[in-house]
Structures are given as C-alpha cells and as structure tokens.
C-alpha cells in the first residue's frame, strides 16, 4: 500500500509549494485548504469571473500548478469567514478556521487508508495532529517562524522602547504559544527554515532529533537575468540602499530611519518598498518611501540598488533575502532574519544596533571593490537556495 500525504494549509502560503512538490513525486493524496479558485473547476459559472474581484481571484489561484482539482479539498466557507473576520478578531479567525479544516481533513483521512502521513504548519496542526496521533499517522510540522514566546518578548520590548500598546498582540501570541507547544510534542518531525528558528526551538526544549533544517528556496523569474544591470552602476557617486517588506516595528523600519539620520549623507539614499504598518515621523531627506509595489515593479528597484538592508527583529526565514541575493545585492541584516549569508555576501548585525548598521552601510558604500566582490558572491550563494534545492532537501527527510 502506497504511503500518501495529506497537506493542510490555511491561505496560499508560499503558493502551496509543499503540496506541489509532493504531487510531483506522486506522494500527495489531498491538499486541504480554504478558498481555492480554478477557472477549469468553475468554468460553468463564468459569472464568477465578473463578480469576484481580480485581487481575490489571484489570491486563491494556485499559480504554475500541476495540481489536479481532484487533489484539492477546498472550503469556501472557511475562506470567506477568514477573509471577513481576520481584521475583527485574528485569534478567532485563525483557530475556528483551523478547526474546520481539520474536521475536513479527518473525514478524508478516515475514508482513505493509504493516507499515512500528515503535513501541517505551525499553530494550524493541533486538532488534526491529536487525531492523527491516536491513529498512528506520521506527523510532519513545519515551524515557519520563531516561537511565539520570542514574539511576546519582542512586543514587550517595543512597548518599552516606543511607548506603544501591544497587549492585544501579546494575548494572541500567548494563545498560539500553547497551540504550537502542543504541536511540537505531537509531531514526529519538525521542519525549520533557519538556524535562528532551530536555535529558539532547542531553547524551548524541543528534542534535537525531531528538528530538520531546510532553508527555503526562491527562483528568480527567467526574464530577469540581465546581469549587466547589477554591476553597471557601482561606480556612480550615489549608493542606493533598499528595504523591501511591510514597514512595521518588527521589520526594523524605525531603525532604518535612525540609521539614515545618523549617516547624514546625500550620497547614500534609502529606498523603502512596502505597506506602511507603522507611523513614521520626521523622515530625513535621504529616505524615500515608495509604498507598496507589485512584484513586476520590484525588478527596477533591485537592479538600481547597491545594498539590501533588512534590519528585522524576528522572522522564520525571510524569502526576500534570497530575492536580494538573486539580484547580486550585498546584504546587511540580522541573525533573526533567518539569513543564509556569511561575511562573503554581506554583514550580519545585532538587531536594533544602529551603530552596527551605520558602520556596515558605510563600509560597503565606500568600497566599490567590496560591493562588487559581495555581489558576485551573492549570485553564487543564491544558486544553492533555489526551489529545486529546497525540493531535494524536503524529500530527503519526508
């Protein structure tokens, strides 16, 4: 009897990459998810194309997929419920959605004896794992981000540092902390995306033999291979420092502003790309806030940049770091970003240390030879972290 996997996933995290990989190897039985949009599945209801906003169509479509509709168990009730309630009560939206998807998954697994393995993601696995443990299923958990215990500590730091109220977020994390700690105890294997997450799980008492480090992969779009653009601006007078991500306290957005103020150079410009989640005041002249950009627009900013700056306080492993490597950008970031770089490709600083950020930017900005050397090394390193490499490592441990 062939061993098949059931994958449970709320929202289209990383475009369902695990389900796609399993399906490619004929190991996937069912992907259980919330809303899923397929023109082939709903073509008899062509009116949906007109009624559903394009944004939602893209959000719930599995792109570049070989997944057959028959392998996907979607629940539009969960998708609509989650979409409408996430901004009202995040914790209720999450847990109630997880519970409903788990019910769907249990029904499917009961009917199909060849489903022997279950793959879930942190805080969304608990109900299904409890059932799976009783029925001798192989339980695989992907811990995508640092433990909620670390997030709670970070929110408390920001409360004291910025005089902001994060009581609501702390309470959410405490609830999710209980869920994820139960999931750790139930899981047979736990996949982590970075040394940072690995270290924090070990500190929380998770047995080392359960943990498997598999860094994420990223494939640069094939039409974005003009390497000449990467190096042709390094002899210009202005150094362009790029940040891409949601501009929140956690991502270090205020540290970018403070670093820019400390540098005080008209020859070093900071470019911030992303949705603004934090209120920013007194923006210096050497900082340009571009707002949120479509992926197709990011190519221009990556090719125009000299340095990628990502001073985050907490991640799992930020895929945007791999994206920057694929454009040959020297990177200044933190250990907490889940970065794969070494001193050959950039500089890793202590989170929140403005002096270290400032010195790192000045060091790279004032040395064109160093910039070019790090750029070439970044491109070489990127080749080791493609989706194909991620697929190989994932299949080795499943």
Q: Are 98 and 127 in contact (CB under 8 A)?
A: yes
Going from N- to C-terminal start, the domains of the chain cover 4-218+386-397, 228-382
Q: Where residue 44 falls among pLDDT bands split at 50, 70, 90? A: very low
Region 104-117: mean pLDDT is: 96
pLDDT at 246: 87
307 close to 358: Cβ distance less than 8 angstroms = no
52: pLDDT strictly greater than 70: no
* pLDDT for residue 154: 97
- Kindly report the average pLDDT of the chain as a whole number: 90
Q: Tell me, what's the pLDDT at 185? A: 98
Q: Give me the pLDDT at residue 245, please.
A: 93
Q: Are 333 and 313 in contact (CB under 8 A)?
A: no
Give CA separation, 326 vs 251, 302, 366, 370, in Å: 21, 9, 23, 18
Look up the CATH architecture of domain 228-382: 3-Layer(aba) Sandwich (3.40)
Q: What percent of the chain has pLDDT over 70?
A: 88
Asked if residue 199 has pLDDT above 90, the reply is yes
Indicate the SS3 state at residue 362: helix
- The structure's pTM equals 0.91
Q: What is the mean pLDDT of residues 257-269?
A: 91
Exposed/middle/buried for 186, CB within 10 Å: 0-12, 13-18, 19+? middle
- What pLDDT, on a 0 to 100 scale, did the predictor assign at position 228? 44
Q: What is the mean pLDDT of residues 141-148?
A: 98
| Listed range (164-168, 266-270, 379-383) with the worst mean pLDDT | 266-270
- What confidence tier does 233 reach under pLDDT thresholds 50, 70, 90? low
* CATH class given for the domain over 4-218+386-397: alpha beta
More confident residue, 83 or 205: 205
Mean pLDDT within 215-231: 68
pLDDT of residue 73: 94
Would you state the pLDDT for residue 79?
87
Give the Cα separation of 57 and 40 in Å (integer).
13
Residue pLDDT, tens place only, 322-349: 999 999 999 999 999 999 999 999 999 9
- Mean per-residue pLDDT, 23-50: 74
Mean pLDDT of 353-371: 95
**366 or 39, higher pLDDT:** 366
The predicted structure's pLDDT at residue 2: 76
Res 295 pLDDT > 90:
no
Q: Residue range 347-353: average pLDDT?
A: 98
Strand positions, DSSP E, the chain: 4-9, 28-33, 72-74, 115-121, 138-142, 189-192, 211-213, 239-244, 268-273, 287-291, 307-310, 331-334, 346-349
- Give the residue-averaged pLDDT of 96-119: 97
């Amino acid at each position: 009897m062939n061993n098949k996997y059931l994958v449970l996933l709320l929202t289209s995290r990383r475009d369902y990459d695990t389900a796609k990989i399993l399906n490619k190897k004929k190991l996937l039985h069912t992907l259980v998810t919330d809303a899923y949009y397929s023109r082939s599945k709903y073509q008899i209801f062509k009116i949906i194309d007109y009624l559903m906003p394009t944004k939602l169509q893209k959000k719930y479509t599995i792109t570049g997929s070989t997944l057959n509709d028959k392998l996907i168990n979607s629940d539009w009730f969960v998708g609509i419920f989650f979409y409408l309630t996430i901004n009202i009560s995040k914790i209720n939206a999450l847990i109630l959605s997880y519970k409903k998807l788990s019910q769907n998954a249990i029904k499917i697994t009961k009917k199909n004896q060849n489903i022997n393995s279950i793959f879930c993601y942190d805080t969304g696995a608990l109900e299904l794992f409890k059932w799976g443990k009783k029925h001798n299923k192989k339980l695989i958990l992907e811990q995508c981000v640092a433990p909620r215990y670390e997030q709670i500590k970070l929110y408390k730091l920001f409360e004291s540092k910025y005089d902001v109220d994060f009581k609501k977020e702390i309470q959410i994390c405490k609830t999710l902390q209980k869920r994820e700690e139960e999931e750790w105890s139930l899981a047979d294997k736990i996949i982590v995306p970075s040394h940072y997450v690995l270290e924090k799980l070990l500190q929380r008492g998770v047995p080392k033999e359960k943990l498997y480090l598999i860094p994420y992969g990223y494939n640069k779009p094939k039409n974005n291979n003009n390497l000449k653009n990467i190096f042709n601006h390094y002899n210009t007078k202005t150094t362009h420092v790029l940040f891409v991500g949601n501009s929140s306290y956690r991502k270090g957005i205020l540290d970018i502003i403070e670093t820019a103020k400390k540098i005080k150079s008209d020859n070093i410009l900071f470019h911030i790309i992303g949705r603004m989640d934090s209120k920013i005041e007194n923006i210096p002249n050497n900082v340009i806030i571009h707002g949120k950009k479509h992926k197709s627009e990011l190519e221009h900013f990556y090719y125009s940049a000299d340095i990628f700056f990502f001073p985050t306080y907490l991640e799992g492993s930020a895929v945007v770091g791999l994206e920057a490597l694929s454009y040959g950008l020297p990177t200044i970031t933190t250990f907490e970003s889940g970065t794969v770089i070494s001193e050959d490709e950039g500089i890793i600083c202590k989170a929140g240390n403005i002096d270290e950020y400032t010195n790192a930017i000045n060091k790279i900005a004032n040395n064109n030879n160093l910039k070019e050397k790090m750029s070439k090394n970044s491109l070489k390193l990127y080749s080791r972290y493609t989706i194909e490499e991620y697929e190989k490592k994932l299949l080795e441990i499943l």
